[in-house]
Structures are given as C-alpha cells and as structure tokens.
Structure 1
Amino acid sequence: MTTRQILFGVLLFSLLACALIYAVHLWLTRRSRGVYVPLQDISRGEGRSVRNLYRQWLQLAYRFCLHVPLVKGYVMRLRQRISVVHPYDEISLRLETMKLAAVITGTMGITALLLIWSNPTIGFIVLIMLACIVIHDLLIEMYVNRLERKLLIQSVELFSQVRHHYQQHGMVDEAIYEGAESAGPEIALHTHRIYHALVSKDPEEELEKYYESAPNRYLKAFAGISRLVMEFGDYARKKSSIYLLGLSGLTREIQLEILRRDKLDYLLKGLNVIALAPVFFAKPIERWARGNFPAMDQFYTSKLGFITKISIYVIIVVAYVLLQKLQQHRETDYRAGFDKPSWEERLCRIPMVRNLALIMAPRQGTPAFARLLRLLRESNTRLKLEWFVVRRLTLFTLAFALSLSTAVFLHVQARHQLLYAPVPEQQSLFGQMNEVQLQAAERRAEQDRQWMEQLGMSPAVDQGQAEKLIEENGAQGMTQEQIKAAADRVLEKLRQFDGEYLRWWELVLAIAAGLIAYAFPLWMLYFHRKVRNMEMRHEVYQFMTVISILRGMERISVEGILEWLNRFAVIFKVPIQKCLLHYEHGAQLALTELKEDVWFPDFQRLVDKLLLAVDKVPIREVFDEDLDGEMAFSFEQRRQEYEALIDTKAGWGRMIGFAPMYALIFLYLVIPLIGMSFTQMSIYYEQIQRL
C-alpha cells in the first residue's frame, strides 16, 4: 500500500468518524427529549439540547486536555491569549478556548492531510509541518485582531452612552454603569470591571489590576480619566467639562484607529489566499510539465530542481508570514502576565550554555556592552543580555546545522538519481514515454548501475576499460556505436558520482547562513526600536491627555503627575518608576535622570515642563494653551503618518502577495523549460551535424 493510499484512507476515516459523531449527537438528542427532532427544527431552535451536549463535550474535552502534558501547555497558551483581549467568565473562557483549538487544529489538520496526499514526499511533509506551526500562530492573531476591532467599535458606542448619562446627572460611576447596561457584550464585561474597580474600597489597587490586563490603551485611559474626575472633581473648560473633553479625545483616537484598520484590511484583502495558492498548484504544474516535456524530468529530480522547489515553498511561507505581520495591529509586545520563563532563560540555566554566552557577550564596561544594553532597553524587549546572546547562538547553530544537512542531503539525493533514474534511449523535448519505453529505460539504468559497480565506482576508469566490460557483460545485439555511447554514459555517471561530496564552499555557505541567523536578532532589535517611535508618540499623547485633566486640580503636584503617568505607562514605565524612587532625594536630579534615560524628544520636552513646574512656575501655567497646541499637532501628525504607513504597507503587500505566484510560474516552469529547450536544441543540432 502506497503512502497516498494510506493518507486517503486516513482522510476518509476522519470524515466518516465526524459523520458518525454527528449522528450519535442527533440520536442522543432525540432520546433525551423522547420525540423525533427533524433537522429543520434544529435550525429553528427546537434542538437546543444538541447545543447543550456540544457545550458539555467541550467542557469534558477541556478537562481531559489539562491531563495531557503537551496538550495542556497548548490549551493554556490559547486561554491566556484570549483572556487578555476578552475577560470571559470561567465557563465561557473554557468554551471559547476549546472552540478555537478545535477549529484551528481541525482546519490545519485536514488541509495538511490534503496537501500531503497530493505530494507524499518526506521533504514536502516536513515543510508542511513547519508551515502549519507558523500559520497556526498567525490564525490565532487574526482571531484576536477581530476581537480587538469589535471592542473598538463597541467602545465608541459605550463612550457615547456614558456621555449621554453623564450629562443627565453628572455622576461618573452611575454613567458608566448605565452605559454598560446598553453596551455590546464584549465591551460590557470590561465596563463592569471598571465600574466595580471605581466603587470598590481600594480603587487604586483594583485599577492597577485592570491596567495590567487591559486589552488596549483606550480602555486604560477611560478608566484612569474616570478615576481622576471621581477623585478630584470635574471643572468646566472651553464651555464643556474636562471629563466630556477626555471622552471626545478618546472617541477621536478610536475612530482614527478603526479607519486605519479598515483601510489596511481593504487594501490587503485577498492577498493571503493569493500567497497560499501556489501550494496547491505546485504538484499539478510539475505533473503537467513531466507529462508533456520529458526533459523536465531531469530538472525536477536534480539538485537544482530540489533547491528550486524548497525555495518556492519557503517563499510561500515567508510571504504569508510577512502579509500577516503587515496586517497586525498590536500596539506593543509588552503584556503584563506574560512573564513566564522563555526558552532562552531555560537554556541559560545550563552551566555550559551560560558560560558560553558570557564569553560571547560584550564585556561589561565596553562601548559595545553599553550600546547593546541600551538597544535592549529601547526596543522594549524582556530579554536580558545573556538571554539575547543565547538566542543568537542558538539561531547560529540551527541555521548552520540545517544548511549543512541540506547540502549533504542534496549530494545523497544526486547520487541516488545517478544510480536509479531511468535512462531514455534518446532525449525528447515533447511527449511522454509509454510503458514499454519506461521499462526499457529502467532496465538500462539497472544495467548501468551494475557496470558501475563492476568498475568499482572509480572515476579513474578509461574509455577502453569501460567498453571492454560492456562487450563482455552486455553487448548482445549492441553495435559498436551503441557500446561506445553506453561507455560514455557510464563514465559520465562515474565522474558525476565521484564529484558528489561536500565541498569547502558549501561549508563556507553554511557558516555564512549561520552568521546571518546570528545577526538576525540584532537586526530585529533595530527594527523594533524604529517601529516603537510611533508607539512612543501614542503614549506621550496619552500622557498629555492625563496632564490636561490634572493641570486644573488644585492639590496636584509634579510627583502626583508622575504617579498617574506611571499607571498609564507601558514603554516608559521603567524610567518613570526609577524617577519616582529617586524623587524624595531630589526632584530636580530625579527628573534630569529621567530625561537622560529616555531618548525620545517628545517625552524629553514633557520632562522639561515638569522640571519647570517643580518650584518655578505653577502647573496650570506650564501646561496651558501650549499643551493643547501640541496635542492637536500630535494628532494631525499621527493621522498623516497613518496614511503614509498604509500606502507603504499596501505597496509592499501587493508585491509580497504576488511573489509566490511569480516564483512558481517563472522559477518552477518557465525558466527551467526555456533552459531545457536550449539544451535539447543543442543536442538536436549535434545530431543533425552527424548525419
């Protein structure tokens, strides 16, 4: 039984098993109710027990998965990722986790089986498994992004309701409670958590807990502004209360974010399918080319053909990953609660690995050490210096080993093709060998293999020795010209067989691949630091919003402003905490150190104003009309940056999305076909000259 037949049987068994489980569910439903339940009645809502059985089955599956070691880690990872965006209750969280796990693993499993069934080769199976791992994480991100977008849309409606109820009776907590009653189900859960935190005995502690798990900065700012107004009171400014102005600012921010996401999704719509489509067409194109152009068989079975095939699959996976990265809307990589030990930390616990990392890391006190430490801090990574070095060393080892293994495998594959590939009587550009010709070609390959073994697989054999051996062992019915052609063919195979070994330049290429992988984490840090420029603007704008509320409070001080900024901070949290710790020993010195710790100019200007407000100018005068102008400028600047970024992403997305299709058509079909055509034409030209 072939591999294709086995996979087809597994797929058929899976479909039959699904149908059987569904039938059992229907039977259990009818038995529990004691009446016949037709399918159309289920769709009308009369078969609700099926849903109850389904929910019970998911709960049992969740409990079962928690007792399986590897599956438990996977389920808990999904649960943690969903709970960050949506604070479900325990029962709903388990149901959503298992539904997401079942949908993703089922879809990926069936797709992988279909692809492997179409091309059951070892290399393709390994590539499909790697692609499933990558695409699996990206599917989870897509699900989370949809939840985040739904939260943003419902947040706009919530703020409108809160504004309406606040204008009615002027009470923040009551407005939030009444707004939550008419809000969407997802945002209502967050709003109730904010309400219970505001009316609790210790609002500061409860809000701190919510800040750590808030899905976006807008809800965090909404909770903070509500707490500020409840603690210090509201006051009129520009014919409106400061609380309503804060809600208006948050609404504009969310609407800008929704428009950005909608436009980006519209411009990149469908490119994911276009990028993945070549996976399904690679094997049919190869079969068509082999069936109509026998010379292409030589290309697809050669080292160059194998490298081309792997390159196309890699291009497909990389293009899909890049498209998903372009469509991601995550604000920052930092999330509270995700401080589990990383694999770098676990490796670093091994004494030998830790000692090697300390040797490879820059020495403390050197400029390289200071630059790398500053880069790690500015890129907002949670990795320590030795962990980062362990990551680079691990990637170097994996890339070097993978490149070297690929080179060795290609040589082994080439030797196997030399020994076992069918040898046609004459090369033909069009058509396909029939069964008789194919059997003759296989017998010819077997005869060549026997002659090569009798010659000791030595490339030092000359033409006379080869012809003598062929005459003695297989020259029945062969002319002298055929014997000479067979000898030439065997000698050429011996020469190629002897030349299939690991060359020095292949070792150099493997080392180069390892060095590129070694430098890749460093490049990513530079890239993340550049990307964080916009995230820093977001956070500084949020600081301005908080200060615009705090500046009118009579009892507010610079230290109080820093404490409130620390509650909202994500990127600047560590330097602000350091400033608060040193504030009692000298406000001027602490703020000066804060300015030196952060390289972002907008934040440094904000610290300059705090320095001015320490003991020289009142806070209300320092942050007056100038702050409103900066906020308006920052909003307009970010709006233009969004438009430019969307246009750039759309251009890159179109280029990346169509790259796999172009690679499949040109690298896998057109260019090899042209090359083989020129080769065949040269062979025909030589044959014509001999006539």
Structure 2
Amino acid sequence: MSLELLFAIIVIGLLILGLLYLYVDNKEQNEAGTKKDLKSLLPKKRNLKQDFGIFSLKSYTKFQDVPFLKGYVRTIRKRLETVNKYDEYKLRRETMKIVFTALGISTFILFICALFNQSIIFLALIFLAIVFINGILVDSFVNRLEDRLLHQFKDFLADIRHHYQQNRMIDESVYEASLLAPYEMKLQADTIYEIVTSTDPQQTLREYESVAPNRFLRAFASICVLVLEKGDVQNEKGSAFLEGLTMLTQEVNTEILHRGKLSYILKGLGVVSVVPIFFTFPIKKWATTYLPAMNDFYGSQIGLIAQVILYLTILIAYLLIRKMREINDSKYLVKTNRKVWSERVYNIKPIQYVVDLLTPNYYDKAGFRLTQLIKDANSPIKIEWLYTQRLVTAVLTFFLMLGLFLYSHHITIKSALYNPTTNILMGKMTEEEKIEAEEITTFDRKAILHFKEVKDKKYEDVEQYISKNVKETEVKKISDRVYKKMQKVDNSYFKWWELLIAFLISVIGYQIPIWILMFQARLRKMDMEEEVNQFYTIINVISHFESISTENVLEWMERFAVIFKEPLKDTLLNFDSSPELALKDLKETVSFPSFNRIVDRLYLAATRISVQEAFDDINLDKQFYIEQRNRHNEHVLKEKADWGYIIGLAPLYTIIFLYLVFPMLYISLMYMDNVFNNLNNI
C-alpha cells in the first residue's frame, strides 16, 4: 500500500471517528444530565428527526472551534439568513443539514478517487473540483428553499383574497391566512401581521424591508399598510387591494416560471464544467499506457501549456455558469459593507502613484466610458480601483507566465532524462519492453550527463562516445537519439521571445477586469427590461389612490427594485431638497431608455400634472406590455441557454481536443518526421 493511499485512509478515518465522537458525546451528555426537571420534560423515546436536531445543535457548537469549518458554517448560515426569518434552532439545524450533506458528498468523492489514484497532484485537483461542486450544492439547497417560499407565498395570497372577500379587514385576513400557512411562510405572515397591528406601521414596515427575503413580500407588506392607512379604493375593476393581490400573484407566477425554466436550461452545466478535472489523470494514464509515445507530449512544454489552458477553461466556465445561475434578489445589490481589496492595494503609496498615472481623467472620453461601464455593471468600485485591479492582474499574469515557462523547461529536461524511451507508437508495453525502455533511458541519461559540462557539443564526439559502448551497427541510430535529447536539454532555457510572450499575455490580463465588467453589464441588461415592466405593473395598482404622490411612487419602485435599487434610493434621499434635480440625476445615472421613460413621466407628475394623469395610458397598453414582457423573457432565457451550453460544455470539448486529439496529431507528426528523416538517410 502506497504512502498516499495510507494518508487518505487515515484522514477519512479520523473524520469518521470525529463524527462518531460527536454523536457519542451527545448521547452521554443527554443521558447524564443533572437537571432532572428538564430531563423529565423530554420524551422517553426520541425519533430520528429529534436525534438529528440535537446532534446538529451539538455539532454546530463543536464546528465553531475548528478554524476552517467555522468559516464554512458561517458562510452557509449567512446565505440562509437572507432566505427566511428562521429562529435560532431552525437556522442552526438547516445550516448543519447543508453542511453534513455537502461534506458527506465531498468526502465520498475524495475517498473514491483516492482508491483509484493516490497521486498528491491528482488529489489536490480533485479537492479543487470538490470545492467547486460544494459551491454548486450550497446554491442548489438555498435556491430550493427560496422556491419553496415563493410557492407557499402564492398559496398564502390566495388565502388572503378569500378571507378579505369575507371580512374586508386587512389584519384579520392576514391572521386567518397565517394559521393555514406552512412553517416558512408563517414566519413571514406573523411578521406582516405585527406590522399591520402595530401603532406605527410605517416604521415597522421600514424595519421589515431591510430583512424581507424577497421583493414580493416587501410589496405585499407595503400594499397592506397603504390600504390600512388610506382605505381600499373601489374602481371600475373592483377593489384596489384585490387588484394588487392579482398583480402580486401574476408577478410571483412569472418569477416561479422564470426560475424553473432557468434552472432547467442550466441544470447540470455547473457540474459538467467541473467533471473534466476528474478525467485528466485517468486519460493521461490510459494514453501513456496504450499509446506509449504520448509520454513525449505530456512531458513536453506544449503538453504543459495544454494542461494550463484546460484548467483555466474549467475555472472560467465554472465561474460564468455559476454567475448565470444566480436567481436571488441579492445578485445585483451593491455590497458596500465590506472594503474592496483593490481599495486596500490602491492606498499603498507607490502603487497609488503608478495607478494615478494610468487612470484617465473622469471628464475624458475614456474616463466617461469606464464610469458608464461601472454603472452598467453595478460594481461598487471607482475608476482608480478598477485600474488597480487591471495593474495587479497584469503583474500577476506576467509573473505566472514566467513561472510557467521556467517550469516547462524543467519538465522538458526531466522528460528527456527520465521518460522511458521506446519506438512503440500504439499498444500496451509488456514487462520486457518496459525494462528495455528503462535501460535505454538510463544509457541515454549517462551519455547526456557525460557531455553536460561540454560547451561546444559536436555530433562526432557523441558518436565517438556511443561507439565505445554499443555495436557498430547501432551507433548511428543511438547517436541520433542521444544527440536529439541532448539538444532538447540544451535548448531548455529561458529565451527572449518567452519574455515577449509573457508581456503580451500580461496585456491580455490587463483587460480581464474590463471584460468581467462587460459580462456583468450584459447579464444585468438582460433583466433590466423585466424590472421596468414590473414597475409599470406596480404603478398601475397604486395610481388608483388619489393621494399618491411622485415620492410615493419612487418609494414603491425602490421597494420592488433589484437592479435599480441603489439609484432609486439615492433619488429618494435627495428628493425633499429638489424633486426636479433628483429626477434629473436619476435619469443621468441610469442609461436605460425604458427606465428613463418612467422617470420622464415622474418628472411631469412632480412638476405639472398628477400621477394618475402621467400614467393614464398604462391600462390601454397593458396587453402590449404583457406580450412584450413574455417575448423578452423568452429571448433572455434562449440567450442564456445558448451561452450556457457553449460555456458549460467548453471544458469537455477542451479536454477531448487538447488531451486526446491534439496529442495524437502531435505525436503522429513527430513520428512521421522521424520516418522521413530515416528515409532520407538511407
């Protein structure tokens, strides 16, 4: 048994023993409790669910003492805190359920892979793939909880409609519907009931808006408070509150369908983009076993470059697919509560001096375009921080390329000196052939090392040295082989054109932060039209209330917004000082025509006419907006599906071409060249 396999078994055994220890420790503490009054309250026989709940709470506490697991548990807990208003017990239990599932699957995959290959490099790559898969698993668990809450909210709205039609009272309807709601929805329903029954509903509503898991619940709570304060309005279609419930139900149904279709079209692509990592070493082992000549490719400089391209493709595809799969409300919110790493780097004086020299002026054409790109991507950075990212990326890319070239020369020398030498192109080598290949390699290595200190190596000297150790009929053939290896070793040094290539690739790296912003802006633009259509739906409902002002409309838009939330929030902060100036700034900040048309209407409502008059044609164009919205959603899903399949399957195509097809072509061409050279020498 190899050392690596023994190490893997020990690690997995320790993990299993640790889990068993937690379970036994939990049972002993429960059995040896000192408080008899508390012990008497517990049921005599606990079921499996209760045992798991207690075990989860104990494990949660134990995991807080382990550095790596502590951060991992906290990350999952924060994700769950944004999904629903769980109590502490439920939050810890759900967190540990995800942790146990993810770690269990990860440990199982690592154990299975360790049984087949105990190479440290292979296990490190498998660990990297497991980290990627772990992120996909956590996303799927969280998305499932969000979907469950949306489905429960849809049923909750139906119950609200039924009870409101009976008693025409908001608070009683919410209370009656909460009694029938499942656990997740009941937590939100109880909070909304506290809002509508509080002495200051507006203040309680503002507190709820900061913790509400999605925009639909925020909108529902806002509608309840609006009707509670201003009374229900009867229009030609009936109750404005019931019309608002209809609007919310339509929006929730649209969201559920959109999330379901997006999840379906991108289903499995995240895993597919990572799977090629598991096949890199098996493919390499199969190729070198049944195609011995492939050792020359995998041990060459071009083989190393092919591996680097493959792993970069896998990493980029995984990140892009995961970004495309994001369907929660927080994906577009600017995270200003943490310091961006580029800001810290920029504050270093020497780097700040260099960055300031590279950064264009804000009022230049280039500066304006970059500022607009940052706004379109909704990124929380400044131009100076963007250029800091570009500079750091370029420098890191440059030195990584230098290291790659130096390492490629190292493995080229190692391949020439130690790789088995054989003329067999296809077929598995027998033990005798392997021994013969090793003996040939040992002989060639001694000859190469013999001439290591000789500066001016001549073919005649090599031929003379070889003739002393082999038969005269083999001298020419062996001398050609040794001299060719010798030239390969001598040519494995850092060259000037490699420095030029490293510089050119660093120029490409200099553009990577810009490309990332462009990709984020493109994804964001796909969902902008959808959000603008949602604004029209909201305005159509609240415009029935006569006392609604322009500021009220902006507040409702901000509550329901995801992409435009930050600009709307800034507008509301400046609205009291100058409504006209605040709306002009909003129009300049957001460069999206459909949204700007709403801003133009709000500007008229703030200066000349009422809100009802500004949006009096919404009902006339309602059917058009619905058709336009459905067509836009289909277009967005189709575009994401097309790009998703291209990006998700790119690693699979790359491993097939760079790890199988291209090596075969490379080796075939090399052997054909040798054959032609031998024919010319005859």
Structure 1, residues 468-526: CA drift from partner, whole Å, max 9, x if none? Answer: 33345xx2xx2223233333222222211111122233223323333323222222223
The 1-side partners of 2:601 and 2:99 are apart by: 51
Aligned equivalents of 2:558 and 2:680: distance in 1? 86
- Find the partner of 2:636 among 639, 645, 666: 645
Which of 278, 289, 293 is equivalent to 1:295?
Answer: 293
**Cα shift at 1:640:** 0.9
Q: After superposing the two structures, state which structure 1 stretch, 113-122 or 162-171, moved more.
A: 113-122
- Deviation by residue 1:100-155 (Cα, 9 ceiling, x = unmatched): 22322342344245435544445544544443444433332222221221122112
Q: Shift of the alpha carbon at 1:550?
A: 3.5
Cα deviation code 1:248-292 (max 9, x no counterpart): 111112212222232333344444554444444443333333332
| Distance (Å, rounded) in 2 between the aligned partners of 1:619 and 1:251 | 24
Contact 2:232 2:239 in 1 (8 A): yes
1:676 aligns with 2:672: no
CA distance in 1, matches of 2:540, 2:56: 49
Which stretch shows the higher mean deviation, 179-188 or 459-468? 459-468
**Which residue of the other structure, out of 530, 536, 548, is the alignment partner of 1:544?**
536
Residue of structure 1 in register with 2:594 after alignment: 602
8 Å contact kept, 2:413–2:489: yes
Q: Structure 2, unaligned stretches of length 5 or more?
A: 34-42
User: Letter of the aligned partner of 2:521 in structure 1?
Assistant: R
1:169 is matched with which residue? 167
- Residue 93 and residue 496 in structure 1: after superposition, are their counterparts in 2 closer, same or farther (change >3 A)? same
Q: Which residue of 2 aligns with 1:180?
A: 178
Check if 1:616 corresponds to 2:622. no
CA contact (8 A) 1:29 1:47 kept: no
Give the drift of 1:190.
1.8
Residue type of the partner of 1:383?
Answer: I
Number of the residue aligned with 1:206: 204
How big is each residue's C-alpha offset from its partner over 1:388-424, in whole Å with a ceiling of 9 and x where there is no partner? 3333333223322222222211111111111112223
Shift of 1:351: 3.8
1:376 and 1:556 map into 2 onto residues whose CA distance is: 34
Distance 1:301 1:282 in 2: 14
Aligned: 1:513 with 2:511: no
Q: Which residue identity lines up with residue 584 of structure 2 in the other structure?
A: T
Q: For 1:585 and 1:595, how far apart are their aligned partners in 2? A: 17
The yes-or-no answer on 1:10 pairing with 2:25 is: no
2:223 pairs with 1:225: yes
Cα deviation digits, residues 332-375 of structure 1 (max 9, x gap): 53448872233334434444444444343223443333332333
In structure 1, what is the Cα distance between the partners aligned to 2:472 and 2:55?
Answer: 77
The 1:674/1:529 distance shift into structure 2, 3 A limit, reads closer
- Counterpart among 456, 464, 471 of residue 479 in structure 1: 471
Answer yes or no: is the 8 Å Cα contact 1:26–1:50 preserved in 2.
no
Alpha-carbon distance in 1 for matches of 2:7, 2:160: 57
1:667 matched residue in structure 2: 658
d(CA) in 1 for partners of 2:523, 2:79: 23
Counting only pairs closer than 5 Å after superposition, residues 444-593 of structure 1 correspond to structure 2 as: 444-458=440-454, 460-472=456-468, 475=469, 478-593=470-585
User: Equivalences for 1:4-403 in 2 at 5 Å?
Assistant: 4-10=4-10, 13=13, 17=17, 24=24, 48=46, 51-115=49-113, 118-121=116-119, 123-272=121-270, 274-331=272-329, 333-335=331-333, 339-403=337-401
Moved more, 13-22 or 402-411: 13-22
Instruction: State the 1:438 CA deviation.
Output: 2.4
Letter of the structure 1 residue corresponding to residue 183 of structure 2 = P
Q: Return the match for 1:628 from 607, 619, 623.
A: 619
| Native 8 Å contact 2:22 2:58 kept in 1 | no
Letter of the 1:10 partner, please give it.
I
Q: Deviations over 1:37-77 (max 9, x none)?
A: xxxxxxxx996365445433432333344345554333322
Q: Deviations over 1:185-243 (max 9, x none)?
A: 22222222222223223322222222223222222211211211111111112332111
- Worse-matched range after superposition: 120-129 or 599-608: 120-129
Instruction: Show CA shifts across 1:268-324 (max 9, x none).
Output: 444455444444444333333333222223223323333334433443444444444
- Sort the Cα spacing of 1:532 and 1:654 in 2 relative to 1 into closer, same or farther, 3 A: closer
2:420–2:441 contact (8 Å) kept in structure 1: yes
Cross-structure match for 1:40:
none
Aligned partners of 2:448 and 2:486 also within 8 Å: yes
TM-score, normalised to structure 2's length?
0.88
State the distance in 2 between where 1:269 and 1:549 align: 36
- Offset of residue 170 of structure 1: 0.9
Is residue 132–residue 318 contact of structure 2 (8 Å, CA) maintained in 1? no
Q: Which residue of 2 aligns with 1:36?
A: none
| Distance in 1, Cα, partners of 2:285 & 2:572 | 69
Q: Which range is displaced more, 209-218 or 76-85? A: 209-218
Q: Is the 8 A contact 1:566 1:576 kept in 2?
A: yes
SS state at 2:82 partner:
helix
Using the TM superposition, name which of 9-18 and 172-181 deviates more.
9-18
2-side partners of 1:337 and 1:687: how far apart? 66
514-523 vs 674-683, which moves further: 674-683
Distance 1:91 1:439, change over 3 A: same
Identify the range of structure 1 (239-248 vs 482-491) with the bigger mean alpha-carbon deviation: 482-491
Q: Which whole-Å CA distance do the structure 2 matches of 1:520 and 1:261 have between them? A: 30
What is the CA–CA distance in structure 2 between the aligned matches of 1:321 and 1:46, rounded to whole Å?
A: 50
Does the 8 A contact of 2:310 with 2:651 survive in 1? yes
- Counterpart-to-counterpart distance in 2, 1:598 and 1:239: 34
Q: Distance in 1 between matches of 2:445 and 2:123?
A: 30
Normalising by the residue count of structure 1, what TM-score does the alignment of the two structures yield? 0.87
CA RMSD of aligned residues (A): 3.4
Please tell me whether the aligned partners of residues 334 and 378 of structure 2 are also in contact (alpha carbons under 8 angstroms): no
Indicate conservation of the 8 Å contact 2:235/2:544, yes or no: no
Paired residue for 2:429, among 408, 430, 433?
A: 433
Q: Is the 8 A contact 1:290 1:296 kept in 2?
A: yes
Amino acid at match of 1:512: L
Structure 1: unaligned runs, 5 residues or longer: 34-44
In terms of mean alpha carbon deviation, does 378-387 or 580-589 score higher? 580-589
The structural deviation recorded for 1:162 is: 0.8
